[in-house]
């Protein structure tokens, strides 16, 4: 497999999401705008030359859009391999590239979000364990911070206190999200419209910068849905999936 590094110089020409064919789609444009500002902060986006879900995105932990303390580490935003790309060792290839690059940059290790059992849009804990990662912290909602140290006795990353006990005071549904995930550009407004049509209290909090993300009340900032103050999901949803959730909770 041949890989290409997306940069400021080639960002507009490169296809960054296999699920969206139109590069001018609002989902793609919002993600590219987010990426463009992150490159100066050390973000690396490495993807397969072929169109498809095969990429890794990582950034120095000091600049990560998550409430973690992991100075000197590299934080993996996303490692995604799916469809026909699965089962060929590409996840390992991409992780090895991240490890090599991070070591060259003098990092102490890698960290990434996961959980005890596989959750949508989070790294697979079985894969992480196989690759030598270990759990170094866990929030009350089961979201875990995993760590791959490059040095013995190095200080382990941890969640900030604001994210350790995910809870907010607002009633109704509150969705925290960033523009890191391209699907948010389309589906967040659709969910809000759907909720309003059903007469439900629904508020969106669009995290706009690193400082807001690092002080968020949730370990997962890309997409975090709360209901009556309690964290309930990090799964990006369309209207049908959201409607199913509402029915399961007895709100429809």
pLDDT in tens, 152-179: 878 899 999 999 999 999 999 999 999 9
CB atoms inside a 10 Å sphere around CB 6: 21
Average pLDDT, the chain: 92
Is residue 134 within 8 Å of 99, Cβ to Cβ? no
- State which H helix or E strand residue 196 sits in: helix 184-197
Query: How far is it, in rounded angstroms, from Cα 22 to Cα 61?
Result: 31
* pLDDT surpassing 70 at residue 61: yes
Query: How far is it, in rounded angstroms, from Cα 213 to Cα 52?
Result: 28
C-alpha angle 181-185-189 in degrees, rounded to nearest 5: 130
Cα–Cα nearest to 217, from 209, 205, 202: 205
CATH of domain 163-248: 3.40.30.10
Greater confidence (26 vs 78) lies with 78
Is residue 54 within 8 Å of 19, Cβ to Cβ? no
pLDDT of residue 16: 74
pLDDT of residue 2: 83
Query: How far is it, in rounded angstroms, from Cα 193 to Cα 147?
Result: 39
Q: Which residue has the tokens 């303390």?
A: 69
pLDDT of residue 182: 84
pLDDT of residue 163: 97
Give the pLDDT band of residue 81 (cuts 50, 70, 90). confident
pLDDT of residue 51: 66
> How many Cα atoms sit within 13 Å of 87 on the Cβ side?
2
Report pLDDT digits (tens) over 199-227.
999 999 999 999 999 999 999 999 999 99
For 6, the token pair is: 């997306």
Give domain 3-160's CATH number out of 3.40.630.30, 2.40.30.170, 3.90.1150.10, 3.30.70.20: 3.40.630.30
- Is beta strand 109-115 parallel, antiparallel or unpaired with respect to 68-69? unpaired
Find the length of the chain.
252
Per-domain residue ranges for the chain? 3-160, 163-248
Greater confidence (164 vs 80) lies with 164
Greater confidence (208 vs 48) lies with 208
Q: At what angle do helices 239-248 and 184-197 cross, to 10 degrees?
A: 50
* pLDDT surpassing 80 at residue 59: yes
* pLDDT surpassing 80 at residue 196: yes
Reported pTM: 0.93
Share of the chain above pLDDT 70, in %: 95
pLDDT of residue 88: 79
Q: Looking at beta carbons, which pairs linking 88-92 to residues 24 or more positions away fall under 8 Å?
A: 88/1, 90/1, 90/48, 90/54, 91/127, 92/131
Is residue 110 within 8 Å of 148, Cβ to Cβ? yes
pLDDT of residue 63: 98
pLDDT of residue 44: 97
* pLDDT surpassing 60 at residue 18: no
pLDDT of residue 12: 85
242: left (phi over 0), alpha (psi -120 to 50) or beta: alpha
Phi, psi of 167 (to 5 degrees): -165, 145
């Amino acid at each position: 497999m041949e890989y290409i590094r997306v940069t400021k110089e080639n960002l507009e020409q490169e296809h960054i999401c296999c699920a969206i064919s139109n590069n001018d789609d609002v989902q793609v444009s919002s993600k590219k705008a987010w990426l463009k500002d992150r490159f100066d902060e050390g973000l690396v986006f490495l993807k397969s030359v072929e169109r498809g879900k095969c990429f890794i995105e990582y950034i120095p932990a000091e600049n990560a859009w998550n409430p973690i303390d992991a100075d000197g580490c590299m934080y993996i935003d996303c490692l995604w391999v799916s469809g026909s790309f699965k089962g060929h060792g590409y996840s390992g290839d991409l992780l090895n590239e991240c490890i090599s690059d991070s070591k060259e940059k003098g990092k102490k290790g890698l960290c990434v979000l996961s959980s005890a059992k596989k959750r949508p849009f989070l790294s697979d804990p079985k894969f992480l364990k196989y690759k030598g990662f270990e759990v170094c912290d866990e929030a009350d909602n089961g979201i875990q911070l995993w760590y791959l140290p490059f040095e013995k006795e190095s200080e382990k990353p941890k969640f900030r206190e604001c994210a350790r006990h995910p809870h907010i005071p607002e009633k109704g549904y509150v969705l925290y999200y960033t523009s890191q995930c391209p699907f948010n550009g389309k589906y967040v407004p659709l969910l809000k419209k759907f909720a309003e049509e059903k007469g439900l209290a629904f508020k969106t909090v669009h995290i706009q910068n690193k400082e807001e993300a690092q002080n968020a009340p949730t370990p997962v900032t890309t997409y975090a849905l709360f209901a009556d103050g309690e964290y309930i999901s990090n799964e990006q949803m369309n209207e049908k999936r959201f409607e199913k959730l509402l029915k399961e909770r007895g709100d429809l």
